Structure 1
Amino acid sequence: MSEQHATGERLYRTVRLIRRFEERCIELVHSGEIAGGIHPYIGQEAIAAGVCAALRPGDYITSTHRGHGHVLAKGADPAAMLAELAGRATGLNKGRGGSMHAADVSLGILGANGIVGAGAPIAAGAAWAAARADDGRIAVSFFGDGAVSQGVVLESFNLAALWKLPVLFVCENNGYASTLTVDDAVAGTIVGRAAAFGIPAVRVDGTDPEAVLAAAGEYADRARSGTGPALLECGAYRFDAHHTWEHKSFVRYRTKEEVDEGRSRDPVLIQGERVAPEVRERVDREVEEVMDSAVRFALGSPKPDPAGALDHLYATGLRPRAGVASHA
């Protein structure tokens, strides 16, 4: 198999896995197995797949409240991830992180984050540590268009530019911050934010995995060379709800015509057309087997013991005193 075909299949496998993972998660939300709901990543799969394909195993990422795709694309075990969302003790974080805080430090996944824009300074810190160690690692911060006006993101841009940190800022512009449009929320442009700090930036088609990979690969190489940070704005469209609570609330902020138009650029179909039909059928079958196994594992796993609720509060393993626990 040629390198080009191998890359095409790899990208298709990733976008297909993310799509089916999210669809199965939505089913489990509706059945009550995943409490609290999720923020579906459906429609944005090309961004996670393309960016993470440009990374090395030791590189770092920080994610968002809509982070399942990033975590999976960086190599997390789908079964452990699904168990985490279902609040099981076998989850990535023993059922304590849930949908918005999943992490796997062994894979460089420093965590999803429920606070808008909060991953940017964490990624900048990881990049600073990598630069100090001179170990060739880089960090990636994923965030949405709603985060570009958060002060902590702009502060991260500033320090990254001043210190020439090996960090790639990836803005997933899906057109909405919850229900607020970009046009109503962002003055100027997103790439212009980076330009103000002297950070190279480009907007790419975030529905095309190969276009994202090409741009991310170029900027990742640049970061590794010691030249400093860059920003990648990936334009895409969120096919599903901002959060699954919308499935019951029926809030209306987009027309059917708009959603239909957005769905016309489907990352899974775009990348699927680039692989041979027999390869696509095989990958689809393999992904379905992975997801069937993940669901069985997650739902068959035990829930955390309430007696251990105060475990893992401190990195040192220190446990609160019994008196403090009973008072709480």
Structure 2
Amino acid sequence: MAAGKQKKADTASPVNSDAGTAQIVETLQHYEAPPPATFSKDDDFKAYRDMLLIRRFEEKAGQLYGMGFIGGFCHLYIGQEAVVTGMQLALKEGDQVITGYRDHGHMLATGMEARGVMAELTGRRSGYSKGKGGSMHMFSKEKNFYGGHGIVGAQVSLGTGLAFANRYRGNDNLSVTYFGDGAANQGQVYESFNMASLWKLPVIYVIENNRYAMGTSVNRASAETNFAHRGISFKIPGIQVDGMDVRAVKAAADLAAGHCREGKGPIILEMMTYRYRGHSMSDPAKYRTRDEVQQMRSERDPIEQVRRRLMEEHGFAEDELKAVDKEVRDVVQDSADFAQNDAEPDVSELWTDIYADDVPQAAE
């Protein structure tokens, strides 16, 4: 090529990344957060009692941990009760639930008995995993609750597998897979997103964004802090939801469930929520101010919002709600008494539940 006749470089402007992303987001965000669901008197009462049971149970678990009756790790759900309560209201028989290690609330919401959950927390033989799983590893086949997983993000792949099983069997069930803002940065999450979208699996990915993961603010740990957008490159729509309002959660859950059951594939619900306690019982939570926590408690508490509606809109007297609180406290105290008096597993249990029983043999 003659001097001065060099081929002109391709100077076409690259696609404006912001504009391109905005276009993709607009295409995928064909769902907007729906208005909060309308709750009847009975709906609000059920939500109130269900959330109160989780709150009181977790408070008692914290007490027992401090007294030495619960060992190992223990992650409390106090403040986030509206998320799992609202989601459960949209599910039907056969739908599966799986989550990480902040799991006691999910267990109770799926209908697992307080006695069995508390017995497992204290390592007793009547626990859901026979006292061998503890706080992070409880299951209930009867309630379609698949754990309780201690490895950060591991449940996302498993929850995607549950959805694959539903698709394979041709049933109308879906998988609700919970994980936190911290787990949302794990690689296996995105491998799961890719497969779920490719095969249009019926899975609702619920990202419980409580703002701090193990103790680092999402603004310092995540390049993209809008977790509803995390599925963009996999063509998975996402919605940000007020996770402190059980009615908003219920409305979003209904929409997401319909999306999955119609064969449209996975969907992400980012629940904007908040935990009042530290990441675990050993976390003093010095990375945030007391004023911040108190403000959330006084202005956004999910249980207090429903309590006010019950009194102001549904005509409940304060004494009636105090009676509900007493009933719930009695249930929780009963579970604690039961757990503390139940026997520990026999040493022989070390050798059980290691391998599957009655595994069918391959034909010769």
Aligned residue number for residue 203 of structure 1: 240
Does the 8 Å contact 1:9/1:279 carry over to 2? no
Q: CA deviation at 1:3?
A: 7.2
Deviations 1:43-67 (A, max 9, x none): 1011011111211131101111111
The alignment status of 1:314 with 2:355, answered yes or no, reads yes
For residues 216 and 109 of structure 1, what CA distance do their matches in structure 2 show? 18
Give the alignment partner of residue 216 of structure 1, picking from 240, 253, 258.
253
Does the 8 Å contact 2:77/2:104 carry over to 1? yes
Q: TM-score, normalised by structure 1?
A: 0.92
Q: Secondary structure at the match of 2:182?
A: helix
Aligned residue number for residue 308 of structure 2: 273
The alignment status of 1:258 with 2:292, answered yes or no, reads yes
For residues 36 and 268 of structure 1, what CA distance do their matches in structure 2 show? 29
Between 1:292-301 and 1:173-182, the stretch displaced more is: 292-301
Counterpart code for 1:238: R
Q: CA deviation at 1:42?
A: 0.5
Q: CA deviation at 1:310?
A: 1.5
Unaligned stretches of 5+ in structure 2?
1-37, 311-315, 360-364
The total of aligned residue pairs comes to 314
**Which runs of structure 1 show a deviation greater than 4 angstroms over 4 or more consecutive aligned residues?**
none
For residues 175 and 166 of structure 1, what CA distance do their matches in structure 2 show? 27
Q: Secondary structure at the match of 1:177?
A: coil
The alignment status of 1:296 with 2:322, answered yes or no, reads no
Q: Secondary structure at the match of 2:234?
A: coil
Deviations 1:296-322 (A, max 9, x none): 21111100011221211112269xxxx
For residues 212 and 86 of structure 2, what CA distance do their matches in structure 1 show? 21
Does the 8 Å contact 1:79/1:293 carry over to 2? yes
Does the 8 Å contact 1:171/1:233 carry over to 2? yes
Q: Secondary structure at the match of 2:231?
A: helix
The alignment status of 1:235 with 2:276, answered yes or no, reads no
Q: Secondary structure at the match of 1:245?
A: coil
Q: Secondary structure at the match of 1:196?
A: helix
The alignment status of 1:180 with 2:212, answered yes or no, reads no
Residues 251/279 of structure 1: CA separation in 2 closer, same or farther (3 Å cut): closer
Unaligned stretches of 5+ in structure 1?
319-328
For residues 251 and 203 of structure 1, what CA distance do their matches in structure 2 show? 25
The alignment status of 1:143 with 2:184, answered yes or no, reads no
The alignment status of 1:111 with 2:152, answered yes or no, reads no
Alignment RMSD (CA, Å):
1.6
For residues 216 and 193 of structure 2, what CA distance do their matches in structure 1 show? 24
Q: Secondary structure at the match of 1:202?
A: strand
Residues 287/251 of structure 1: CA separation in 2 closer, same or farther (3 Å cut): closer
Q: CA deviation at 1:280?
A: 2.6
For residues 273 and 175 of structure 1, what CA distance do their matches in structure 2 show? 26
Residues 20/317 of structure 1: CA separation in 2 closer, same or farther (3 Å cut): farther
For residues 74 and 240 of structure 1, what CA distance do their matches in structure 2 show? 23
Give the alignment partner of residue 57 of structure 2, picking from 2, 17, 21.
21
For residues 239 and 79 of structure 1, what CA distance do their matches in structure 2 show? 24
Q: TM-score, normalised by structure 2?
A: 0.83
The alignment status of 1:42 with 2:78, answered yes or no, reads yes
Deviations 1:136-193 (A, max 9, x none): 1110110000011111111111111111111000000000111111001111221111
Aligned residue number for residue 262 of structure 2: 225
Q: CA deviation at 1:233?
A: 0.3
Between 1:253-262 and 1:16-25, the stretch displaced more is: 253-262
Counterpart code for 1:166: P
Q: How does 1:63-82 map to 2 (within 5 A)?
A: 63-82=99-118
Q: How does 1:47-58 map to 2 (within 5 A)?
A: 47-58=83-94
Q: Secondary structure at the match of 1:171?
A: strand
For residues 224 and 97 of structure 1, what CA distance do their matches in structure 2 show? 33
For residues 251 and 166 of structure 1, what CA distance do their matches in structure 2 show? 36
Does the 8 Å contact 2:215/2:285 carry over to 1? no
Q: CA deviation at 1:260?
A: 1.7
For residues 30 and 272 of structure 1, what CA distance do their matches in structure 2 show? 29
Deviations 1:201-231 (A, max 9, x none): 1111111111101101111122112111111
Q: Secondary structure at the match of 2:281?
A: coil
Q: Secondary structure at the match of 2:252?
A: helix
Q: CA deviation at 1:37?
A: 4.3
Between 1:143-152 and 1:291-300, the stretch displaced more is: 291-300
For residues 226 and 60 of structure 1, what CA distance do their matches in structure 2 show? 17
Aligned residue number for residue 124 of structure 2: 88
Deviations 1:253-307 (A, max 9, x none): 1112222222231111112222223553342222112112211211111000112
